Structure 1
Amino acid sequence: MDLNLLTVFEAVARSRSFSAAAKELGLPKSSVSRGVARLEAELGVQLLLRTTRQVALTTAGTALYDRAAPLLRSVQAVLGEVPSREEEPSGVLRVTAPVDLGVLFLAEVVTRYTARYPSVSVDLHLTGRVVDLVAERFDVALRVAAKLQDSTLVVRKVAPIVARLFASPLYLARRGTPRSEAELEEHDRVIFRGGAEKLRLGTGREPADLTGRARIVCDDLLFARDAVRAGAGIGLLPSFVAEPDVVAGRLVRVLPRHERLAGTLHVVTPAAKHVPRKVSAFRELVVELAGTPRGLQPPP
């Protein structure tokens, strides 16, 4: 049964008029009349008594109206509480991201997000593992990779992440500043295992492949930064990781003409027909802040 027919019947029965019901429902009077006739045919009973002056309910019509009308009003009340468009983000946004992005980039994003949208709160999980967004009920993930492919996810590229060579003033004062690839080979290196273990550098078609001397190898990017900052050697670090220390004078860029693409930041969300406003607003803010020098884009 087409439940819209019940809505048509309820309007006629309540107003005792086909014309009034048609006006209320925004339908032609003929459509209202046909709707009631279809409902009567499907139920196999007469619901209304029609005369030239009035409309009256039969016994079956009265029984149906008494039971259906409260149910229809309840459904209409529930639907009335659901906004046709969610203008203001609200609810809890569950986000997952790598630890380094969370510490160095997401703190400002989340702070601005919650300040801009008071009706939303953020549940942030920082981890090095790849989270199953659907199974673990996450709304958004930030991931750094060259390319992401998953038909169950919506992936948006946000910004490239550029890696450059950095060292501490203490280390350079002790060992000297390398001026060429050949000199760089004589220096100690700090290697982040998640990046390139060989310093394949250069901006031309044939970049130099520098093995150097790996004094420290680690799987935590923030540890690698801190080791470089402490004077352990020269490290290839993403600019957004090193730049605050460059500004503060704790790190110095080495061989400025050399840099490499370390990956691309992606915002990942589960595939959905309708994206909640809290998700789209967060994604927009990530894109907005990632493109600034204080975000992920390195200064020239």
Structure 2
Amino acid sequence: MCSMNATQIDFQLLVVFAAVAEQNSFTKASRKLGIGKGTVSRSIAQLEGLLGFELLHRTTHKVALSTAGAALYERTREHLAELQRALVDLPERDEEPSGVLRMTAPQDFGTIVLPPIFAAFARRYPAVQLEVRLMGPHSGPVREGYDLAIRVATGPLKDSSLTVRRITRIPVGIYASPSYLARRGRPRDKVDERHSWVVHLATIRLLKTRPLPSHFVVDDFLFARELIREGVGLGLLPLFVAKDYVREGFIEEVSIPGRDRMEGEIVILYPSSGQVPKKVIAFANFVIDAFRSHSR
């Protein structure tokens, strides 16, 4: 067991080690980091000396992680990535963000929630021009030509090439119109077959049950809300979509025995590779801070 104080290890040594572990090559790691191969080799040797055990098995043509090296990589890689992102995200004093910021966002969330936040961002960063395309939930996370995407997430996002930052959690409830409930009654359990459903593609994972008798499968919460108001079935809606119609009495939340309250989250996605533009970092920080301030 290594008993040394972790503060003795230079952060850069761990960065070099992670690059070698990912590339399985000193040469490829040196290219990725923009430093000499000799510097990479000396950094690994220095780290092994500080830790007191071998991290890499070296052969003529490649390197491979030792058992200890694999353990170190698994335990540090996410923390290294987070720390590197945090350092990149630090505000820069000399130059304000500028240029065209191209993004995508869900139609419903974009229409209902984002306009005042976008307007406040434009006042804070007048040199940034926002180009926004509102899209359905199953367009690509960050399509070609876009700097970032805002998405509804109901489960883990597995694309390791993207930085994922949570904006806010969103309560999701089951809603129906008073006229529908008067005709069909309230659900007795989560698989009550007397009922029809309006199912949004983004909420299928939240239902966690066998396929429901759905009259409608849609990709827009505003459209789903209108169908629910018309009395065609039960449906899942985020609170930000449902609350005005609940207040007006057009729909009401329905509690179903055996079904826990659900939630999703709104996230910002942008590519992890390369230097992240100031305008992207400024926008992501601004939106996240806006929601944090609102929730206090």
Range of TM-score over shorter length = 0.5 to 0.7
Distance 2:204 2:271 in 1: 30
The corresponding residue for 1:288 is 289
Distance 2:253 2:291 in 1: 21
**Structure 1 pair 237/182, CA: closer, same or farther in 2 (3 Å)?**
closer
Q: Give the drift of 1:262.
A: 5.1
The corresponding residue for 2:221 is 221
Q: Give the drift of 1:121.
A: 2.0
**What residue identity is the alignment partner of 2:278?**
R
Structure 1 runs, 4 residues or longer, greater than 6 Å off? none
The corresponding residue for 2:181 is 172
Q: Give the drift of 1:140.
A: 1.7
Contact kept, 8 Å, 2:172 with 2:263, in 1: the verdict is yes
Distance 1:107 1:254 in 2: 30
SS of 2:113's equivalent? helix
Distance 1:192 1:220 in 2: 7
Please give the per-residue CA displacement for 1:143-180, whole angstroms capped at 9, x wherever unaligned. Answer: 2332223343222123333321111233234444x164
Q: Give the drift of 1:109.
A: 2.2
SS of 1:96's equivalent? strand
The corresponding residue for 2:28 is none
The corresponding residue for 1:78 is none
RMSD over aligned Cα, in angstroms? 3.3
Distance 2:192 2:293 in 1: 31
The corresponding residue for 1:237 is 237
Distance 1:272 1:159 in 2: 24
Q: Give the drift of 1:114.
A: 1.4
**Structure 1 pair 132/183, CA: closer, same or farther in 2 (3 Å)?**
closer
Please give the per-residue CA displacement for 1:53-85, whole angstroms capped at 9, x wherever unaligned. Answer: xxxxxxxxxxxxxxxxxxxxxxxxxxxxxxx74
The corresponding residue for 2:140 is 130
The corresponding residue for 2:265 is 264
SS of 2:166's equivalent? strand
Distance 1:285 1:262 in 2: 23
Please give the per-residue CA displacement for 1:87-145, whole angstroms capped at 9, x wherever unaligned. Answer: 53332211112222222222232122113333322100122310545x41x22211233
Distance 2:256 2:127 in 1: 45
Distance 2:107 2:176 in 1: 22
Q: Which region of structure 1 is more displaced relative to structure 2, 102-111 or 230-239?
A: 102-111
Contact kept, 8 Å, 2:201 with 2:217, in 1: the verdict is yes
Alignment of 1:69-84 (within 5 A): none
Alignment of 1:88-99 (within 5 A): 88-99=96-107
Please give the per-residue CA displacement for 1:1-40, whole angstroms capped at 9, x wherever unaligned. Answer: xxxxxxxxxxxxxxxxxxxxxxxxxxxxxxxxxxxxxxxx
Distance 2:94 2:177 in 1: 49
Q: Give the drift of 1:253.
A: 0.7
SS of 1:187's equivalent? coil
Contact kept, 8 Å, 1:166 with 1:252, in 2: the verdict is yes
The corresponding residue for 2:253 is 253
Larger Rg, first or second structure (1 or 2): 1
TM-score (norm 2): 0.56
Identical positions, percent = 38
Distance 1:96 1:156 in 2: 15
**Structure 1 pair 286/180, CA: closer, same or farther in 2 (3 Å)?**
farther
Contact kept, 8 Å, 2:105 with 2:151, in 1: the verdict is yes
Q: Give the drift of 1:185.
A: 4.0
The corresponding residue for 1:162 is 171
The corresponding residue for 1:141 is 149
Q: Which runs of 5+ in 1 are unaligned?
A: 1-83, 201-208
**Structure 1 pair 93/250, CA: closer, same or farther in 2 (3 Å)?**
same
The corresponding residue for 2:43 is none
Q: Give the drift of 1:231.
A: 1.6
**Structure 1 pair 104/90, CA: closer, same or farther in 2 (3 Å)?**
same
Contact kept, 8 Å, 1:86 with 1:276, in 2: the verdict is no
**Number of matched pairs:** 201
SS of 1:227's equivalent? helix
TM-score (norm 1): 0.56
